[in-house]
Structure 1
Amino acid sequence: MRTSIRKSLCLALTLVALTSCGKGFLDEQPSQLPSGDQLKEAGKKSEDISLGFVNGVVSSFFKALQSTGGSHDDFAQKAFDISADLMSGDMEMRQSNYKWFQLPARLTSWQKDEINNYSVWRISYRTISLANGFFVTAGGDETVPGNSVAPETRFNWGQVKALRALAYLNLARFYGGPYSDATKSKPTVPVYKAADDASKPKGQSTLEQVYEQIVQDLKQAIEAIEGSGKSRPDRQYVDETVARVALARAYMDLGKWDEAYDVANKVITDQAATYPLIPAKELLTNGFNDYQTPEFIWAIDITKDNTGALLSFWGHVDVFTYGYAFVGARKAINKNISDQIPATDLRGDWFHPTMGVPWCKFFSASGKAAWEASGRQRYGVDRTWLSDIVFMRMSEVYLIASEAAARKGDDATSKTLLLTLLKQRTRDGKYTEVETATNALSHDDLLKTLLYNWRVEMWGEGQSLAVMRRFKNNVERSVRNGFLSGTTIKWDDPRLVYEIPQHEASNNQLIR
């Protein structure tokens, strides 16, 4: 796996050379993608093209500098996660001399000519382009491959379906905004499928149509992967569990609580033993830095060959890694949230008591060890940038299932699920107290408790903007925030929704 991921972009770039006489499609906009005939021809020229597509699509979620020539906040999904958390206000950043991520912190990244906006668009459509290229070579994307197709191909088909759906989910969340009866008919983004002539522009699908495509892709991904009988080599690839968590996310955005509960509960029922929650005794020492952490459902092994160095999640969030958090552009939990963390909650110790940085949640193992061994306790000592990254973990699944259960009126089940998580997040000797208090919660107070747990448990993992919208939670920027300090941002603030980038709007006459 490590070798194939490392070589994936080389193989994808070989495909580019085969499919274009001019600019390659990895550098093109969605209105300028290669034709099906070009992709079929490329498929004839390399027997490894299927694997190259799969690995290329996976790499598009973590490779740095896919949309710009040198922006240090251009490293795909984890950069999107930071932007979303800064926009929501759950993550705060000090003022600094470095421009990276200031736009989302200032709530100006929505503008059509801003780089953080363009990065989500360009990288998401790069993922979609690679995915559709795979489907062209694999016979299409409409029908799940049957038993006549090799199991490996069916498995890869399902993986790519799930990854394409995740790209569209990013587009829906950033460019579509909150989903409701009032917004579902809003023109959002173009939906490109394998049968489309992607060298020609398309108009925007509605937000409802984008989510319909996401849900269809994920259901088909699950069917294809399970029908293949294959298992992924390791958790860097996608399997049916990853697809189910993505589907549960989409259902939560849509307010389909029964469906979200059913999907999340199946993951818990079938996979809780495979992906056990980080236990309380390891919560402050895990560091979220090893992709093989048992709780992690989908995570990437960062190596010398694929690290983005400074251009990485760790280069921006971890004070023990040499990077922007170390030199002053610190990402911290909103002080108003950390002030709510009770003494019984172990997660209070995830964050520095005065700075609020996640020094016991996200930390380089070698960097923190060197810091602890140093009499001067220096930050920023890890200059290898080899800490791994996580995209999905089991705690999110428990929160989805618990919230969905509460929203559909089953508070008892909601509390049971939440307490399963809290048992591993509570200090020694305090669980009975927490259990009693949780079981006594009214429905409204249960929802407030779930909101609190989302904001603390998933801090820094890119879910806070979706949570803010779902709970209709207005967020006050704390006094520690260097941007819009003391300002309350409403959950439906128009600055939380991106405009179509200027480049696409100028070149696609069908954009409204």
Structure 2
Amino acid sequence: MNTKISKTLLRTMAILIMAGSFGSCKKFLDEKPDSSLGEPKSIEDLQAIMDSYSGNNSSYPNLGQQSDDDYYLVDAYLNGLNALLQATYKWDKNIETDATWRAGYKVVLNSNMVLEILPSLQNSSQQLQLKTLKGTALFFRSLAFFHLAQHFALPYNQTDAATLPGIPLRLASDVNAPVHRHTMQQTYEQIIQDLNIAVAHLPALNAPLSRPSKQAAYALFANLYLSMENYNKAGLYADSALQLGAQLINYNTVSTSAAIPFAQFNNETIMSIAMSGHARFNPTNGKVDAVFYNSYSNNDLRKKIFFRAAGTPGQFAFKGNYQGNTTGNLFCGFTTAEMLLVRAEASARQNAKDSAMADINRLLKNRIEAASFTN
């Protein structure tokens, strides 16, 4: 996922959000699904639930990005935002965000519904599709739990994980079932358990790239273990993902002047997932921090492909979204480039310098102007 937020930022934001969210957000866990939608009964119905891009792929929390320091908003735009959006931008300690909570647990609800109906279809001749649907539902549930844990719990701490609060783990669609907040350890154990089963049920690769696969599950495992500071497992899972496909986009072949330089389902994408969108993230409103922009060297093609001048001298805007748009729905899925970086970091953390540099140079070869690249 491309939202790389420091543990200090995550820890602070988690404290601020937790203080205001759990009371009001618990209401969503008690709400019943809309009965007018009808009860899904067939494999096709369940596949449609899991294939809903808006329902499962494009509504992951963006609070971390809203609060990050790699962009800024001019006062005239900021002052026109609602109270919540201003509060997250300013790191206000009184934050209530039902929408973020609801979006995450809606994915959990969809997954639980599918998992509960699947056993009634076991006599079907479509056993392979049933198996894949089970893996898909477990993948999305683990993905939702992981994102929710990053926003509504503290960063993973092995020493205190058994006592620190995690998130509520809804494992059934029954809204009358008791709900309580699980520990951090229970939260991560559930994510790992779901993913382990998902890996066994998913195809190695998948099309379209909005559907999960073994490669996507390995990528999620890599991110999960990186967040837990288990660098050995993070590196192993990143490597497993890359063994199933490691194609990179050579940025020397990408137009530096294109308003939208990347297609949504491009050659680096392992799985397409996006944050909840907002106009503050589009190039017209969100401005890239100049210090961040200038940290890219002039021969680094990302400086020209990811960013553009924003009109006012010294202002820049982001345009390198792997979602293939500029509407504010930022990509937070999995890519081969990210897996190279995870594997490189895992190697470096374990003092395997040569392996780390090999991965970094492999990526840089596809990011730096060809005439100036040297190993």
Structure 1 residue 389: Cα displacement: 5.5
Contact 2:218 2:237 in 1 (8 A): yes
Q: Which residue of 1 aligns with 2:334?
A: 392
Q: Deviations over 1:346-374 (max 9, x none)?
A: 22223235212114x2499899xxxxxxx
Structure 1 residue 238: Cα displacement: 1.4
Structure 1 residue 107: Cα displacement: 1.1
3-state DSSP of counterpart to 1:425:
coil
Amino acid at match of 2:148: L
Structure 1 residue 207: Cα displacement: 1.3
Q: Which residue of 2 aligns with 1:134?
A: 114
1:187-198 aligned at under 5 Å gives the runs 187-194=165-172, 197-198=174-175
How far apart, in 2, do the equivalents of 1:131 and 1:84 lie?
A: 24
For structure 2, the residue ranges without an aligned partner over 5 or more in a row are 1-25
Structure 1 pair 150/390, CA: closer, same or farther in 2 (3 Å)?
same
Q: Which residue of 2 aligns with 1:290?
A: 263
3-state DSSP of counterpart to 1:139:
helix
User: Match for 1:357 among 306, 317, 337?
Assistant: 317
Contact 2:50 2:137 in 1 (8 A): yes
Q: State yes or no: 1:92 paired with 2:66.
A: no
How far apart, in 2, do the equivalents of 1:386 and 1:166 lie?
A: 21
How far apart, in 1, do the equivalents of 2:91 and 2:57 lie?
A: 24
User: Match for 2:252 among 261, 277, 280?
Assistant: 280
Contact 1:297 1:394 in 2 (8 A): yes
Structure 1 residue 427: Cα displacement: 1.8
Structure 1 pair 180/364, CA: closer, same or farther in 2 (3 Å)?
closer
How far apart, in 1, do the equivalents of 2:212 and 2:169 lie?
A: 22
Amino acid at match of 2:221: L
How far apart, in 2, do the equivalents of 1:28 and 1:165 lie?
A: 22
Contact 2:277 2:330 in 1 (8 A): no
Q: State yes or no: 1:209 paired with 2:186.
A: yes
3-state DSSP of counterpart to 2:166:
strand
Q: Which residue of 1 aligns with 2:47?
A: 51
Contact 2:218 2:238 in 1 (8 A): yes
User: Match for 1:118 among 86, 89, 98?
Assistant: 98
Q: TM-score scaled by structure 2? A: 0.78
Q: Deviations over 1:153-193 (max 9, x none)?
A: 11111111111111001111001122113552311211111
How far apart, in 1, do the equivalents of 2:130 and 2:208 lie?
A: 17
User: Match for 2:282 among 283, 307, 318?
Assistant: 318
User: Match for 1:243 among 210, 217, 225?
Assistant: 217
Greater mean alpha carbon deviation, residues 282-291 or residues 418-427: 282-291
How far apart, in 1, do the equivalents of 2:212 and 2:136 lie?
A: 5
Q: Deviations over 1:231-272 (max 9, x none)?
A: 633112111111111111111111111111011012222201
Structure 1 residue 332: Cα displacement: 2.7
Q: Which residue of 2 aligns with 1:155?
A: 132
Structure 1 residue 54: Cα displacement: 1.4
Structure 1 pair 339/258, CA: closer, same or farther in 2 (3 Å)?
same
How far apart, in 1, do the equivalents of 2:245 and 2:337 lie?
A: 12
Instruction: Let me know the Cα RMSD of the aligned residues.
Output: 3.4
How far apart, in 2, do the equivalents of 1:94 and 1:182 lie?
A: 42
Q: State yes or no: 1:105 paired with 2:89.
A: yes
Determine which structure has more spread, i.e. the larger CA radius of gyration.
Answer: 1
How far apart, in 1, do the equivalents of 2:191 and 2:138 lie?
A: 9
Q: How many residues end up aligned between the 2 structures? A: 335
User: Match for 1:225 among 177, 202, 206?
Assistant: 202
1:27-38 aligned at under 5 Å gives the runs 29-33=28-32
Q: TM-score scaled by structure 1? A: 0.58
Contact 2:166 2:185 in 1 (8 A): no
Structure 1 pair 47/391, CA: closer, same or farther in 2 (3 Å)?
closer
> Greater RCO between the two (CA within 8 Å, min separation 6)?
1
Amino acid at match of 1:29: F
Contact 1:90 1:337 in 2 (8 A): yes
Contact 2:57 2:272 in 1 (8 A): no
